[in-house]
Amino acid sequence: MKAKLTLHKDFSIGTLDKRVYGSFIEHLGRAVYTGIYEPGHPEADEAGFRKDVIRLVRELNVPIVRYPGGNFVSGYNWEDGVGPLEWRPTRMELAWATLEPNKIGVNEFVDWAKKAGTEVMMAVNLGTRGPDAARNLVEYCNFPKGTQWSDLRRSHGYENPHGIKLWCLGNEMDGQWQICHRTADEYGRAALEAAKLMKWTDPSIELTACGSSGSAMPTFGTWETTVLEHTYEYIDYVSLHTYYGNRDNDTPSFLARNLEMDSFIKTIAGVCDLVKARKRSKKTVNLSFDEWNVWFHSNNAKVEKWTVAPPLLEDIYTMEDALLVGCMLITLLKNADRVKVACLAQLVNVIAPIMTDAGGGAWRQTIFYPFAQMSKYGHGAVLRGEIACDCYDTNDIDGVPYLESVAVRGEQGLTIFAVNRNLSEALALETELAGFDTKNCRFIEHTAMRHDNLKATNSVKAELVRPAAQIAGKLDGATLELALPPASWNVIRLGL
């Protein structure tokens, strides 16, 4: 099968905001306890953080990590997690029916983020709590000194403010499952008042309001309209969340789910612009896709309630899951003009690219690789490429192209990311490079990730699914020719 990709050096969607390569750590399952934090582990540092996990997070190159939830945040008292450890309570954590010992809180997480080379995107509780607790947390984290909450931080050993710039106004407040779920009007009002107080406390922060928990929610669209009507002038982003699964073992349909993600993004960008027009506002609200991933393998797992750090949501990812994650990353980049933040949910142990054994090793899931390669090479101008190739139909989407691809031009040259959705045939890809100084272009490498078994997984013992170098592509003037193996994730790099 053949495919053609045409790229023009100057036809760009926009410059990518690196925060699109964000991720997420929630106090859920083993993400924190026995994930990032395990005192007594042979790899633990003096603070109890696992250095083997920090190394993998650094390799994944994640610029921002959302914290502390997720559903967890809607019942969280941030004050429980600061100050002397012996004073911190163990709480019934109602979102996930576990016990939360509060050994890690805001300050420790900020310390961990520094070690992991990342920044914190902090969520406030708009479930059981509201504007007052939210503005106190901003004051605790960001105000220099001389006030109750800033001085409390200093008394806890943090003289300098944490300077947390990006904040979430609650989590998935449209969902019945959320602790203190609200209607759109109720949430819109609470979010507005919290936003005002938070920005008055620190005008330099940016705020994300909760959008829908997914495009299948009954209030999808109207939720965003109502929330934005209330909050428009005080917020900077609206959130989107989505998870996909291959429950029916229909891989061609599964690999097309990112097209649904694409229309989700475009719909919500449209809703933002509708409210902008109604308000005659100059300001554009952008998108924060702050939960996205494949999630279904662990759906029926039985886990004992009211324990500390039970193995919740521990999906073990396959080769085909990595293909969809690659397609979803490509979709995020193709919407770089509106998606400014995105968080792969989550980072460690919980629907995660990084897994750990308590007391044992840390390892990379299949989905680790497309993310790591993109967050390494996908920086700069996202190009508006033209794809010509055969398509297939699924139950709900017609015209799914066999080739999914995006290209980025930046300091590291030109990088083409591509998924071949054809499960049985290679794609002979011809790329036309228009407007480039082709005399000075050179082929650097083509890596592909594939496996004969689409259900192949990695484990602590062996990372069987990982990218491998391919034979060099043929670069002749402005034309690059190479083959994408069946059902593969590809990264093609050219020096400019």
What secondary structure letter does DSSP report for 364? E
Q: Beta partners for 24?
A: 66, 345
The yes or no reply on residue 69 touching ligand AHR (CB under 6 A) is: yes
188-204 as b/e, with b when 16 or more CB fall inside 10 Å? Answer: bebbbbbbebbbebbee
Three-class SS of residue 382?
strand
Question: How many beta carbons lie within 10 A of that of residue 163, not counting itself?
Answer: 14
Q: How far is the CB of 89 from ligand AHR (least distance, A)?
A: 21
Q: Which of 38, 79, 172, 224 binds ligand AHR (CB under 6 A)?
A: 172
Q: Listing from the earlier edge strand, what are the strands of the sheet with 413-420?
A: 12-15, 381-383, 403-410, 413-420, 488-495, 442-449, 468-469
The yes or no reply on residue 26 touching ligand AHR (CB under 6 A) is: yes
Binding mask 457-486 for ligand AHR (x = CB under 6 A): ------------------------------
Active-site position among 172, 193, 224, 404? 172
- Of 125 and 373, which CB lies nearer to ligand AHR in the complex structure? 125
Which of 422, 423, 426, 463 has the alpha carbon at shortest distance from 446?
426
Q: Which of 38, 119, 236, 291 binds ligand AHR (CB under 6 A)?
A: 291
The yes or no reply on residue 70 touching ligand AHR (CB under 6 A) is: yes
The residue range among 63-71, 142-150, 192-200, 383-391 that interacts with ligand AHR, by the rule CB under 6 A, is 63-71
Residue type, 26: E
Is-catalytic flag, 430?
Answer: no
Q: Which of 346, 415, 420, 490 binds ligand AHR (CB under 6 A)?
A: 346
Please work out the total of residues on this chain that contact ligand AHR, with binding judged by CB under 6 A.
Answer: 10
The yes or no reply on residue 404 touching ligand AHR (CB under 6 A) is: no
Helix (H) or strand (E) holding 200: helix 184-201
Q: Which of 32, 62, 121, 345 binds ligand AHR (CB under 6 A)?
A: 345
User: Which residue do the tokens 């040259």 mark?
Assistant: 413
Q: How far is the CB of 31 from ligand AHR (least distance, A)?
A: 9
Helix (H) or strand (E) holding 331: helix 319-334
Binding mask 200-239 for ligand AHR (x = CB under 6 A): -------------x--------------------------
Is-catalytic flag, 260?
Answer: no
The residue range among 64-72, 162-170, 296-304, 449-457 that interacts with ligand AHR, by the rule CB under 6 A, is 64-72
- Of 100 and 172, which CB lies nearer to ligand AHR in the complex structure? 172
Asked whether the beta carbons of 138 and 202 are under 8 A apart, the reply is: yes
Active-site position among 26, 108, 291, 320? 291
Q: How far apart are CA 144 and CA 141, in angstroms?
A: 9
346 prior amide bond cis, ω within 30: yes
Asked whether the beta carbons of 101 and 90 are under 8 A apart, the reply is: yes
Q: How far is the CB of 258 from ligand AHR (least distance, A)?
A: 18
- Of 332 and 383, which CB lies nearer to ligand AHR in the complex structure? 332
Binding mask 247-286 for ligand AHR (x = CB under 6 A): ----------------------------------------
Which of 270, 175, 168, 265 has the alpha carbon at shortest distance from 209?
168
The yes or no reply on residue 98 touching ligand AHR (CB under 6 A) is: no
| Distance in angstroms between the alpha carbons of the first and the last residue of the chain | 29
403-412 as b/e, with b when 16 or more CB fall inside 10 Å? Answer: bbbbbbbbeb
Q: How far is the CB of 74 from ligand AHR (least distance, A)?
A: 9
Q: Which of 23, 61, 171, 422 binds ligand AHR (CB under 6 A)?
A: 171
Residues designated as active site? 172, 291
Interface residue list for ligand AHR (CB under 6 A) = 26, 69-71, 171-172, 213, 291, 345-346
